[in-house]
Every structure is written in structure tokens, then in C-alpha cells.
Structure 1
């Protein structure tokens, strides 16, 4: 086989890079995901473009940084006209579909401005970020943004689960001794089993829908984005996964009392938020993390089912398989909960790519330590499928040479950014919405974080301080290093692709072409 024909693009939500056994977790065994790593390449230094669901995913789908595509936070839409995976792959006849979460939010204002009805074929494609919604489920309770009907709720009601919102009252809640509903939004209920049967849980249901897609696909090439909502909160797992792990199975917490002494103002404001206040307590962390681990284990078991279905359909040998996550989770490290900031546990992700072609044989089962980014996946997909790369739009780099063992120069740093205007931390700091921006540059040794509203930066020496416990942002001795990294950050920001309507080849062909078009400028 010269090249693959299909892509199975699996993404977990809020899965840390180090919560897989192939990444070294001593107690959380993930044999099915590990099997993918044995068949492909595990990139152990992969980073997201923003450690928040929405902007991270939009960068995965566009191959462009948040600074370029503009969807800076959850429910901030990609502008009409921004190209995604579907736009690149559909013209070749490929079916591009999603089973699960995308966090795509339609640019309704932009669609109305150009007179594009959402009900039209093109309107639906744009509203869904280029994915055909085979089974769209963002895993959220219905509200004014997601609409009154959640497909998963329809499924649960068909299985006999009652209530206005069974997503919450069954799949993400437990049951008390008197039959009362104990909401999964409360961390104190994380040790209890979800009320829903495991076979009807979100992870199981979405896996079943992915299997349906694989079985129904026929001869047409496809990309399926199987996008799990878990182990994202609410941290509550169905039986038996809720009880597989105890506090003794947890990784040691990574934090230091020194981190709370004169922290950077933005870091300090995030440490004051509710999630950080909760997860900063060891007893809360010990109570919640076993459920998180159970949710990861459940995903691994169902990934095994999906891969088995792929093999049964005869598609294992012509399908690229990717396993990754949209960001990590602090889980109490650095006195923090949730994600958002740029410590490794938040911004670093698992990334495994299985290329079934013979050209990738030499790298099977290897671990690649080079710095890679979420925006590398779109050019990688196009490259593996034999399509040309629109380099005037794409800001990532194809990983195909790395998968095929080819010698190639590689990047010296990775980049991430955050718009924290939507967080309580901004109000704590007294910033207006345009001031709440920050950016990260990470090299092999250094991590540098700059803030729009503060001259004070953060700096970590990853060689001598791999746990990122000592902030050198105010160290006079490290001022030259900060200056060099600031220049690197400026270069990365200056390198964004904003001339997206004319290709580089067109520019080259038109360079110095005025005279040939009869336009003569400055001749004596």
C-alpha cells in the first residue's frame, strides 16, 4: 500500500500526557492505547496551541494558531471563511464526520451577513466546523448555547432514563442512600458510581456510534473524529470504573510551598479560583483522582472495541489512527485545578500516530522526543493522503517525515497562548478584556511566559527544574535568557499566516510583474 485511505482521529478531553501506562504511569494500565503506541510513534513532547477546549480544538481542526483563527475561548466561533479539515479533505471525495465533541460554535452573525442559511448543505458544514455531525455530542447540559435538545439525552430517554436532563441526573450524578440524586458537579460525590449503566454512559455510547460509522462506511474514504468527552469533569465514573483505583495509585502531587510566595499576579489570581482552592487540598485530590483514572481506563477499554471493529471491517491496514487530547488537567499540581495556564500538566498532551504504510515500518514502536504541536496534525493528514499543503494558511508542520524516519530539520520551540478574559481571575486583577492575554514559548530547556498586562514574565529552567517549581521570571541573572526568549516569541507571532486568500505560489508568480501587465512605474 502506497498510502493510507482513512483516518481515525481519536481525542480524549482533558487527558494529561502522563496518565497512560505507555507514558510511564505505574498504576493506570492502558493496554489498548499502548498497543497503538507499539504500532506507531508516540510523540512524548506534544503541546496544544491553547490549554482550553474550544481554542485548542479549533487549532487542531484548522492547522492554525489561536492568534490566527481568532476562536480564542469556548463559544467564540471560527469566522465564516476559516478553513478546516473538512474543507481540505472533502474535495478529494473523503467523508469527514464526527462522533462526539467538537466545541465548534457557529458564526451565526457572519453566516447571516453573507445570507447563508444554516439549514443549507454549505451552511450546516460551516456551522459544524467542516464535520458532518454523524453523532455530535459536546457533553454539556442543554442551555441557550447548545439548544434545548441534546442527542445523548434522546438516547438515554430511549433506554428508559427519565428526567428533563438525564445527561446530568443519570450519566453525571450518583444516587444517595434514600434514592436522592447526588450531582456530579460536586466533587465530594466523585467516589460514587454514576447512576447510568456503563453500557449507556457517554464513553460507551460514543464508541458504539463510532463502530456504527466504521461498519456503515463502505468503499468511500473517510476521516472520523471520535471525540470523547471524558475524563473531563464532571469527575464521576460508572461502575465498575468508579472503584478500580484508590489513593495509593495516584501520582505524587507536584507542588511547593514556595510557589505561593509572591507568585506571578496572573498565577496567583488563578490559584484563588474555586477549582484551585479545592484541588489544592490533598484530601480533595485523593478523593477525586481515582474517578479520573477510572474514566481514563474506561476510554482505553472502549478504544480497544473500536480498533477491533476497524480490524473486523478490514480497514486496519489502510487507516491512519491518531490518539490525543485537547489539553491536560492540573489535578492539584502547582496548587491548581482545571487547566488554562502553561505548566506541563496543562499544556502537554499525549500524541500517538499509527501510519499503516510500509514507509513507516522503521519507526513502529518508537518514542519521538522532538517538540510537536497540535497544529501539526492537519498538514500531517494532508501529507499522508498525498495532498499538497497550503502553506500560506497552515502554520503547523507535517509529521510524515518523522513517521517515516526521514532526516529533516525541526523546530526549536513550541508555542501556546491564552485569552483569560472570561475568567474570574481577570476581575481579581482588575484588567479589561483586551489586557487578559498571555503567551508561552517552550524550548528543550526553557519555558518563557509573557503577559500583555504585566512587564513581569515567568521563566522555568526545565533542565534543572523539570517540575517547574522555581519561577526565574525576576532573576537578574536570567535577564539575557528572558530577552532571547522574548525575541523568539516575537518571531513566532510575526510568523502567523494572515495572507490566506492568495497562495505563496501565486505571490511568487506575480512578483515584479507590473511591467508585463502594462503598468510602468518610475521609468525616466
Structure 2
């Protein structure tokens, strides 16, 4: 390794943990992601902190649980003052750049209250999760860019794909034989090729932009962290040719669901089964139309990562670059009679996570899998650790993964937690719940999984004996003791948020020696609780003796 280190942080959007060939998918081939797994560690129990884009990503970028950073739903701003990955890495001299999506909503009101201009350097950092926005692209959402090259919509217009919204009209719509436009938002059109030529579609474009950033940073001799954040295979489910025709009905895995899941289900489960997206994805016709497209989107990502990895190989970047491949959440795709991702079955809350660690200490774990419980919040402390930064446990609630990639026999945690605020969903109305009570929590110890919500009966699964999570044991008397055990673990976790973020634990513990010998306030002019002059004099003498011993040392 060289002395200068880099990080490539690749995140897909809505990619299931089991839709990779290295994770056991029988028909989908992802040789380039598999190649990364053969050089690193593939974590098989990686959980996100929320099953919706914004909160999950804010946890990834802050290293903090949703209950701590407060961005509880898409559109809820990450408040001013929440330190992020970019902030931590800048402290150790690392250029931290975004190439793609964050789903970040800026705290405009907070910035205005503090007099921070949106277009100032500080304002941009606050508004972009601490990243330098080399190329932000959230698709449907507004994009911004520090880079002189055009953003994706402008790029499309300059290449002859003009429209009021070229992202939707060209990159995410289909075209009929007579030039008619097929709306890519509609699931029925998922089997059609996108109107855009493949080389101009989102995934290749953003891959090229990542290579451009790396070239620029390398030319300047900078240590860098590049967050390549693909917007796919998230909907709209449409992919350009030839990827629209790579997979078909025969390649679809059977849905993981049972009729028993629709008989007297938990009320929150039933409410989400009644959503439009769930009713449609419960139909075989929809799955047979959409899933081959979803697989094609993943295949396109894998092919582009092949180009990126070849680019890195030619420049020797695998010698000093930590590479992480993951996703912000999964996708039900009709499993459990659900669409989208909002509940906590593994297909939604568990994600692929592959970590390639170039250090010699990691040679013994190359090509292995780990079943350790890891969380999305572990990535920020991992990157800080890799760059040699000081650990910040009072602030970063995750744990560095480097001990695991180094082969140390250690356990990072006894349980993993995820959260979802369903106050913006129709489920709140169906259940007649107040907004303040619409919080769902999942906790798993790797063997069992509990889903807990205020005023709701629990959902509970035995992951060892029922890995498909087809039987909810929440009403079973035989599960009561394990339900209560996990509930107590969850309540303890909820009672201990990391809210003191301005000073580390050492700020408190560094006076432990003084506390053991005398009142550390003595000498400050503040006298609390003393009875008389004699008691005060005794403490003052103890202080003088302690100072003398310290000076002799």
C-alpha cells in the first residue's frame, strides 16, 4: 500500500440483498460485483437503519440512528448541526465527494435562522450532507453541481434529448413503434426498452462522472472518498436496450409468500398489504413484467462496475482504495404480498454489503463471508478508521468494520435496529393512529426478529427455523419470553440515544483521577455543599498534594 489512502463508497438504490449471483441468485449474473466479493468480505447480515431512502441514507452519512439524527422520513430535513461523513473526513485531510443521489433535504429554515447563505461553502456542505457535490443527481428531485460540466438533464439536452423533463421523457420512458411515449412510471411498460440509448442512460453516465472525479483527485495528489450513488434499480422500472431483454419470465424466482400471511395478519401488515403497490405486486402478471426489468437494471450496474474496476486496476488504485458496495434498502417485489419496502422483512431491511480492504491485515479474509450483525451506520466510522482518524463513539453510533475485515474474532453488537415512521402512509388512516404514535421499530439478534409499534401487537419471527419469515409468531404464547427479551433490549436502546455530540466521553473521564482524590471544582472559586471552613481546608490540602504528585510525574 502507498501512504495515501482512498475510499470508493458505492451505493445502489432499492437493491435487494439476494439479487446478486454471489448471494445465491440462480439466474442473475453479476460477475463484477462477485469479483469484488472474491477480494473482500461479503456481510450476510447487514441491516439498514430505515427502509426508506432518506432516513436510511442520512444514517449512512451521519453514522447515527434515525432516532438520533431526526430525519425520520423522505423530505424531513437533516437538521443544521448534524456532523456528517464529509465533516469527519475533511478533518483528516480527505476530499469527500458525491457522484449521484443522496435524497438529502436541506434544513433551509435552520440555515436562514443562523444566517448561513445557501450558496456559501458552509451552506453547500450543510445542504449536501457534508459532501462536495461533484455531481448530484436525485432523478425526480432537483440536482445541483459544483462541477463545470453539465448536470444530467443538461447533458441529455446537449446530446439531442430535449424535453421539459428529459430525465423522465427519455431516460425513464419507453417508445412505441410510431414514436409514442410510454410512461415509465406505469408498471405495464417495464418490459419495454427505455427511449435513451444505453450509453446515455443514468448508470453509465454516473459511472463516467465517478471516473472523472477520481482522475481529477489523483492528478492533484489528493486523498479522496468518492460516493458513487446509483439511482437504480429503484423505480421507475425501465431499462435501456439491450438490458430490457436479457431476462425473462423463466428467470424469475418464486415469490416468498404464503396464503396464511393474508389470514388474520397483524393490523400494520394488513394495512400495507392493502396499498396499491402491494396489490399490484401480488399479481403474477406484474411480477413477470417488472422483475426481468429489475434484474436488467442490476445487470447494467454490474457491467458498469466492470468498467470502473478495470479503470481502477490500470491505475493501481486497488492497492490503496477501500471499496464498499451496498444499497440503501431492498424491495419486496411481491414477496409477503407487498410492494415497495416499508416494513421489515429481510428482503426490505437487509442489504448487500461487500467490503474490500486493501491492507495486508485483510489478506486472510479475502473471498469470505461474515454473518456478523452489521449496520449501515458502521460505514462512516469504518472510513474514518481507515484514514487514521480518531474514533468518535460519542457521536458515531456505528462501529468500524476493519476488525472484521482483519479477521479479528470480535462481535460488533448483539442486535441490529431499524426504524420507520409511517405517519405519511395510508396505514396511519386505516389504523386511526395519531402522527406521534406512527413509529415502527425492528430489532433482531440474528436468531429472532421483533417488530414493535405503539398500540400495535408485535410481529415476531424465528429466523433460524423460518428464514422466509412466513410465520408471524407475535400471537404465540410459546414466543412470549423471547418477545419480551427483545422488547427490553429495544427499550434500553431507545433510552440511550447519543445526544451529547459536542464533547467526547474523554471530556468527562479525564478528571476521574481528580474526582478520586478531591473535589475537582476546588480552585475554580465555586464552592458547592461544604459545611464549614475545616471541611473546605481539608479539600484544599488534598488538591495541593495531588498537584504535587502530578508535577513530580
Indicate if the aligned counterparts of 1:328 and 1:348 stay in contact, CA closer than 8 A. yes
Cα 1:141–1:88 change in 2 (3 A) is closer
Runs of 4+ in 1 over 3 A off after TM superposition: none
Q: Pick closer, same or farther for the CA change 1:499–1:193 going to 2, 3 Å.
A: same
SS at match of 2:299: helix
Per-residue deviation, 1:324? 0.3
- 2:529 maps to 522
Pairing 1:102-121 to 2, within 5 Å after superposition:
102-121=102-121
Q: What is the aligned partner in structure 2 of residue 124 from structure 1?
A: 124
**Quick one: distance in 2 between partners of 1:90 and 1:281?**
49
The structure with the larger Rg is: 2
User: Residue by residue, what CA displacement relative to the aligned partner does 1:440-464 show, whole Å, maximum 9, x if unpaired?
Assistant: 111121000100232x111111111
The verdict on how the C-alpha distance between 1:470 and 1:197 changes in structure 2, with shifts beyond 3 A counting, is same
Do the aligned partners of 1:3 and 1:357 also contact (CA within 8 Å) in 2?
A: no
8 Å CA contact 1:3–1:386 kept in 2: the answer is: no
Tell me by how many angstroms 1:73 deviates: 0.9
- CA distance in 2: counterparts of 1:314 and 1:516, whole angstroms: 58
Residue aligning to 1:358? 360
1:132-169 deviations in whole A, cap 9, x for unaligned?
Answer: 111100111559xxxxxx93211110110021111111
8 Å CA contact retained: 1:4, 1:357: no
Q: What CA RMSD, in Å, does the superposition of the two structures yield over aligned residues?
A: 1.4
Which residue matches 1:500? 501
Specify every segment of 5 or more residues in structure 1 that has no aligned partner in the other structure, as ranges.
144-149
CA contact (8 A) 1:16 1:329 kept: yes
Q: Which position in structure 2 is the counterpart of 1:288?
A: 290
Which residue of the partner structure matches residue 168 of structure 2? Answer: 168
Q: Deviations over 1:76-127 (max 9, x none)?
A: 1111010001000112221110110011111000001110001111111111
In the superposition, relative to structure 1, how do residues 319 and 235 fare at CA in structure 2: closer, same or farther (>3 Å)? same
CA contact (8 A) 1:376 1:396 kept: yes
- Residues 31 and 300 in structure 1, CA contact (< 8 A), matched pair in contact too: yes
- Structure 1 residue 272 displacement after superposition: 0.6
Q: Is the 8 A contact 1:214 1:309 kept in 2?
A: no
Question: Structure 2 vs 1, CA of residues 497 and 2 (structure 1 numbering), >3 Å: closer, same or farther?
Answer: farther
| Distance in 2 of aligned mates of 1:376 and 1:114 | 31
Contact in 1 for aligned 2:17/2:330 (Cα 8 Å):
yes
In the alignment, structure 1 residue 487 sits paired with structure 2 residue 494: no
The alignment covers a number of residue pairs equal to 517
CA contact 2:4–2:223 (8 Å) conserved in 1 = no
SS at structure 2 position matched to 1:206 = helix
Distance in 2 between residues matched to 1:139 and 1:445, nearest whole Å: 38
The separation in 1 between residues aligned to 2:39 and 2:464, in whole angstroms, is 30
CA contact (8 A) 1:14 1:328 kept: yes
Structure 2 residue ranges without an equivalent (≥5) = 144-149, 532-553
Q: Is the 2:92–2:387 contact (alpha carbons within 8 Å) kept by the matching residues of 1?
A: no
Find the aligned partners of 1:309 and 1:215 in 2 and give their Cα distance: 10
What is the TM-score normalised by the length of structure 2?
0.92
Check 1:339–1:510 CA distance in 2 against 1; reply closer, same or farther (3 A cut): same
1:4–1:356 contact (8 Å) kept in structure 2: no
Contact 2:41 2:405 in 1 (8 A): yes
Measured in 1, the distance between the counterparts of 2:360 and 2:139 equals 38
Q: Does 1:332 align with 2:346?
A: no
Secondary structure in 2 aligned to 1:311? helix
Aligned to 2:474: 473
Q: Is the 8 A contact 2:243 2:296 kept in 1?
A: yes
Q: Do the aligned residues in 1 keep the contact of 2:243 with 2:300 (CA within 8 Å)?
A: yes
* 1:90 corresponds to 2:90: yes
